[in-house]
Every structure is written in C-alpha cells, then in structure tokens.
Amino acid sequence: EPEVTQTPSHQVTQMGQEVILRCVPISNHLYFYWYRQILGQKVEFLVSFYNNEISEKSEIFDDQFSVERPDGSNFTLKIRSTKLEDSAMYFCASWQNTGELFFGEGSRLTVL
Amino acid sequence: AQKVTQAQTEISVVEKEDVTLDCVYETRDTTYYLFWYKQPPSGELVFLIRRNSFDEQNEISGRYSWNFQKSTSSFNFTITASQVVDSAVYFCALSEARGYSTLTFGKGTMLLVSP
C-alpha cells in the first residue's frame, strides 16, 4: 500500500533554532499539504502545494514558515526561528484526485 | 467559512457496546466532502471514509457505519460491538469539492473502550 513517509519522527530543538521537517509524498501524487496538531487539539491546515508553488495557506503559515520541493521527491517544511508555541505534531499529506488524502505518521516537534 | 463540530469530547464504553460519534458541519458550498479519521494513541491519522455530499446513502463497513443526513448537516459514525482496539480519537472533517481543497477538522472525540 502506498504511504507518505516523514522524518524525523520526533525532533527536540531550542527556541530560536531553525527546523526542517521532511516528507516523501506518494510518488504519483500532485498535491501536497502540511497540517499541524498541537497536543490535545484539532488538526489544522497550514499550507497546500501544487505545481511547485503554494496554492493555499492558512493564517498560521506566517513568514517564519516556508515549504519547498527541492528534488522532485522530498517536500519540506522549514520553520526559521522556532517558538515554544510551534511545539506540535506536523503531518504531511498528499493527494491524487481519488478522494483519499493520505497522511504521513507525523513529526513531533518539541521546542524548549 | 466551514466549520465542523464534534460536541462529544470523550466517550467511555464497555467492550461490545455500540457507540455513535456525532458530527455536525457548516458550509456554504453545495458540493463538499465529509471524512472520518481515526487517531490511535500512536498518533498517526488513519483514513476511514470519504462521503460526497451528493450521496446520502448510509454506508456500512464491517462494524463501522455512517449516517449522513444532509437535512440536519450531520455525518454520524457508529461502531457496533466496540472493541478495545477501537480506543482512539476520532476526527470528522469537511472539504470543498474542488481540486486541491483542504480539510477542516473538528476537535475530535476521544473514545475509550474498556474490557
């Protein structure tokens, strides 16, 4: 069964440090997403990416966030200067047009 | 704006009981998709179902069934004969029916099934 893979599974960082979360979407998918889930809360949309550009982003996705697909396979989320409130589970997802949005297993980010 | 409400924060049942998780949604779109995801303690999001707003037929998949009522904007999920492995947080979600539409999630319902 196809799957979305994410690395790292857990990252601990100091406030103010840059973090890059990596995702390998399903190979023939064209739409990619990042979602965030603060502990105990609902899953929130951050950004969608299609045709090598951002197609939609939420209010959460401010200037400290960026996404890119540097090599045609990886899809990364960068947080330039992490804050305590960035601590969350970050989910990557990809979609083809078949209806099911495939989520990765998530990357847990802890900012100290 | 879209909104999904899962009024039940936590439900506790004993194994073999039936349980229904409620989901009420708001949207101005005439066509949309509704989803249910399961999040076990390990944290991943497991897709359970997607329903098109045009299709109001109820669906059954093993012990799972879904009741879509467009008139009341509800998409409820029933687990029959619950099992301990069903213990998880269950999220209802909504998206517009367009090419790369994003999902709006409810806050989730934590289901605890005890032996």
pLDDT per residue as tens digits for the range A7-61 = 999 999 999 999 999 999 998 888 999 999 999 899 999 999 998 899 999 999 9
Predicted pLDDT at B97:
76
What is the band of B99 on the pLDDT scale with cuts at 50, 70, 90? low
Question: Which of A48, A89, A101 comes nearest B43 by C-beta?
Answer: A89
> What does the DSSP 8-state code read for residue A28?
T
Q: Do B106 and A99 touch (CB under 8 A)?
A: no
Range B34-52 average pLDDT: 92
Question: Which of A56, A99, A105 comes nearest B50 by C-beta?
Answer: A99
What is the tens place of the pLDDT at every residue in A70-95?
A: 887 899 999 999 999 999 999 999 98
pLDDT above 80 for A2: no
> What are the residues whose beta carbons fall under 8 Å from the beta carbon of B55, sequence distance 6 or more?
B68
Reply yes or no: is the peptide bond before residue A8 cis, omega within 30 of 0: yes
Q: Is B104 on the interface with A (CB under 8 A)?
A: yes
Q: Is A57 on the interface with B (CB under 8 A)?
A: no
Q: Are A37 and A43 in contact (CB under 8 A)?
A: yes
Q: Is A91 on the interface with B (CB under 8 A)?
A: yes
Give the type of residue at A57: K
What is the band of B84 on the pLDDT scale with cuts at 50, 70, 90? very high
- Alpha-carbon distance A57 to A42, whole Å? 17
* CB-CB neighbours of B13 under 10 Å: 16
